[in-house]
């Protein structure tokens, strides 16, 4: 009987670690995508800045282009920050569910537990 309990416990632990690895991988992948998006936003803003410098006929034209570029950059970065925050909240939810599930599974394996 103890051999089966050990086997069940090892299987449960392995499944739990695989789930944790999956949560970590998904979160890391999503964060990497966000980082790539932020780099793209920054590169786009720099390209627009260089275009404005090359195309401006007057200083006022340059200031207008810079102002528009800055507003667009700010909107895009704010959107990226919102997405990142949502990803973090989702990861927190996933980690909490994993943690709670682990405690419930541990209680079922505990021979001294009332529920076992």
Q: Examine residue 88 and state whether it is found in any structural domain, yes or no.
A: yes
Over the stretch 23-50, which tens digit does the pLDDT of each residue have? 999 999 999 999 999 999 999 999 999 9
- Strand, helix or coil for residue 113: coil
Domain housing 43:
30-107
Q: Examine residue 86 and state whether it is found in any structural domain, yes or no.
A: yes
Q: What is the pTM of this model?
A: 0.75
- Torsion 29-30-34-35 (CA) sign: negative
Q: Examine residue 52 and state whether it is found in any structural domain, yes or no.
A: yes
- Strand, helix or coil for residue 39: helix
Q: Examine residue 8 and state whether it is found in any structural domain, yes or no.
A: no
Number of domains the chain is built from: 1
Q: Examine residue 23 and state whether it is found in any structural domain, yes or no.
A: no
Over the stretch 65-99, which tens digit does the pLDDT of each residue have? 999 999 999 999 999 999 999 999 999 999 999 99
Q: Examine residue 78 and state whether it is found in any structural domain, yes or no.
A: yes
Q: Examine residue 20 and state whether it is found in any structural domain, yes or no.
A: no
């Amino acid at each position: 009987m103890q051999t089966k309990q050990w086997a069940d416990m090892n299987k449960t632990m392995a499944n739990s670690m695989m789930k944790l690895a999956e949560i970590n991988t998904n979160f890391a992948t999503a964060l990497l995508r966000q980082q790539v998006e932020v780099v793209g936003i920054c590169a786009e803003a720099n390209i627009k800045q260089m275009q404005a410098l090359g195309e401006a006929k007057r200083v006022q034209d340059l200031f207008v282009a810079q102002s528009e570029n800055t507003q667009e950059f700010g909107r895009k970065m704010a959107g990226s920050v919102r997405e990142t925050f949502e990803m973090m909240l989702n990861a927190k939810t996933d980690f909490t569910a994993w943690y709670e599930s682990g405690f419930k599974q541990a209680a079922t394996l505990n021979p001294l537990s009332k529920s076992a």
